[in-house]
């Protein structure tokens, strides 16, 4: 059903474009409203993803035309052939038709000008009305307007129309959209097979994390059902701080798993650019794609952008402050959970930290917690050569959960390489020595 309906939409688009071109070139009058060329009826009841999308979003005929026009180069590029007519006076394609070559030169891309031409022809009043609606339609701006032709200095109607990867996945393949890390989406999905019981935190940290979980589950219900939308801002903003490997990223992953939300990690140290405007653009893509999906956004290495500043010395410092203000505004407007993570709380400017509802410290685990981590980390298919040695190891060596997992991996591989299932104490100690050496600590003997 999906392919039949999409093909009918393409046929409808073809009729409209032919009508406009023929009218413009003088073989027909221009007075006919193109929406008298009725669009295909949207089937009732069970239907394909494309039809369901139109019904769920209450799309107007104009919205549908924009949507199928953006898909035309992907599904049926020959639909745009009628717009390739050249102006005999200039020897170039008619600017009025709005199409432009794709960057690879392999086809045509429709633009907003193409849509305006299809909807309104040369009727200025209709063109202005249509342009105003397009500019106000945030959904179309995010999902149907590409980056080609939208550079600084270009007219807005030169912006190309093409479907986002999300729309392609949703409407053509009827599957959830899971973007991969790329320059266009500098974020990576976090997931874990481990459970909440594997999270070892002190009592205060655990209770603060649980408060966040409760907000994710009930925060929006409180605003909606108890009439607090005008008093409580949407979204929740938290700061996680503590040494590397103390469980900040793991906690964010578990919050997503426990609440059924996808978690995306953005490494700010890799996103922040020395080029003016690039950081803002990179982060803007993340928020635009995340809009409406209830994702948990986890910003790692937060001090790369929110670190303390000594003052404004040049234009780059001023622009960096603008980028921070931009990100803060996007964070405060985001209706879901945003977590910023840093190794050192003192690295974050107090003025920024005050904008968050909670600041949670992830301290180095104490000896009792370290023993719990050691016991739970190894496979239940192995056994310890001397389990009592873990008491001394837990008390003597201050390691984070992340470092302990590295030692577990080393000792487990060593055991398997010998064809054993017994974890030797000497392997654990050698692994600890390796970890401490990585931290720059001189270890004479263990």
For 69-105, how does the pLDDT look when each residue is reduced to its tens digit (9 = 90+)?
Answer: 999 999 999 999 888 888 878 878 788 888 887 777 6
pLDDT band of residue 271 (cuts 50, 70, 90) is confident
Per-residue pLDDT at 88: 79
CA dihedral 326, 332, 337, 343 (to 10 degrees): 60
Q: Phi, psi at residue 161, to the nearest 5°? A: -105, 125
What DSSP string runs through 168-211? IIIIIS-----PPPBTTB--EEE--S--GGG----HHHHHHHHH
Closest CA to 67 of 49, 88, 82, 83: 49
Per-residue pLDDT at 431: 95
pLDDT band of residue 1 (cuts 50, 70, 90) is low
Structural domains of the chain in order of their starting residue, each with its CATH number: 2-172 (no CATH), 188-361 (3.40.50.300), 367-438 (1.10.8.60)
- Winning range, highest mean pLDDT, from 94-103, 246-255, 287-296: 246-255
CA distance 433 to 399: 11
Closest CA to 412 of 404, 421, 425: 421
409 contact partners, CB below 8 Å, separation of at least 6: none
Per-residue pLDDT at 446: 57
Q: Phi, psi at residue 310, to the nearest 5°? A: -90, -10
pTM score, whole prediction: 0.75
Mean pLDDT of 394-413: 95
* Per-residue model confidence as pLDDT tens digits over 130-142: 888 877 776 677 6
CA distance 308 to 321: 11
Per-residue pLDDT at 152: 47
41 contact partners, CB below 8 Å, separation of at least 6: none
Residue 211 pLDDT more than 90?
yes
């Amino acid at each position: 059903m999906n392919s039949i309906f999409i093909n009918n939409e393409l046929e409808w688009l073809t009729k409209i474009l032919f009508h406009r071109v023929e009218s413009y070139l003088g073989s027909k009058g221009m007075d006919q409203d193109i929406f008298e060329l009725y669009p295909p009826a949207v089937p009732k009841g069970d239907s394909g993803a494309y039809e369901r999308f139109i019904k769920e979003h209450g799309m107007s005929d104009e919205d549908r035309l924009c949507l199928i026009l953006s898909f035309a180069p992907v599904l049926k590029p020959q639909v745009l052939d009628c717009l390739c007519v050249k102006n005999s006076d200039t020897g170039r394609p008619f600017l009025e038709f709005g199409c432009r070559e794709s960057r690879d030169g392999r086809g045509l891309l429709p633009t907003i000008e193409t849509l305006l031409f299809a909807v309104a022809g040369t009727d200025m009043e209709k063109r202005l009305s249509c342009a105003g609606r397009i500019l106000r339609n945030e959904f179309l701006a995010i999902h149907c307007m590409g980056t080609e032709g939208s550079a600084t200095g270009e007219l807005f109607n030169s912006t190309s129309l093409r479907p986002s990867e999300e729309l392609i996945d949703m409407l053509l393949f009827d599957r959830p959209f899971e973007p991969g890390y790329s320059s266009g989406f500098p974020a990576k999905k976090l997931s874990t097979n481990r459970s909440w019981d594997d999270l070892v935190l002190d009592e205060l940290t655990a209770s603060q994390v649980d408060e966040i979980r409760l907000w994710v589950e009930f925060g929006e219900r409180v605003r909606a059902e108890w009439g607090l939308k005008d008093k409580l801002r949407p979204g929740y903003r938290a700061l996680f701080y503590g040494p590397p490997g103390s469980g900040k990223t793991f906690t964010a992953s578990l919050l997503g798993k426990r609440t059924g939300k996808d978690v995306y990690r953005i490494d700010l140290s890799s996103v922040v650019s020395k080029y003016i405007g690039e950081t803002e653009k990179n982060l803007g893509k993340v928020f635009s794609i995340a809009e409406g999906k209830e994702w948990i956004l986890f910003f790692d290495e937060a001090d790369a952008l929110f670190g303390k500043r000594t003052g404004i010395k040049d234009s780059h410092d001023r622009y960096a402050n603008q980028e921070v203000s931009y990100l803060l505004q996007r964070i405060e407007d985001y209706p879901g959970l945003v977590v910023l993570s840093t190794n050192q709380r003192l690295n974050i400017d107090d003025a920024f930290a005050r904008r968050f509802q909670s600041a949670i410290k992830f301290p180095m685990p104490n000896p009792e917690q370290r023993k719990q981590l050691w016991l739970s980390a190894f496979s239940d298919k192995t056994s310890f050569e001397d389990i009592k040695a873990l008491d001394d190891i837990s008390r003597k060596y201050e390691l984070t959960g992340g470092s302990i997992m590295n030692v577990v991996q080393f000792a487990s591989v060593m055991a398997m390489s010998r064809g054993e299932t017994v974890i030797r104490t000497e392997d654990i100690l050698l692994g600890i020595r390796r970890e401490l050496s990585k931290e720059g600590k001189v270890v004479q003997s263990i």
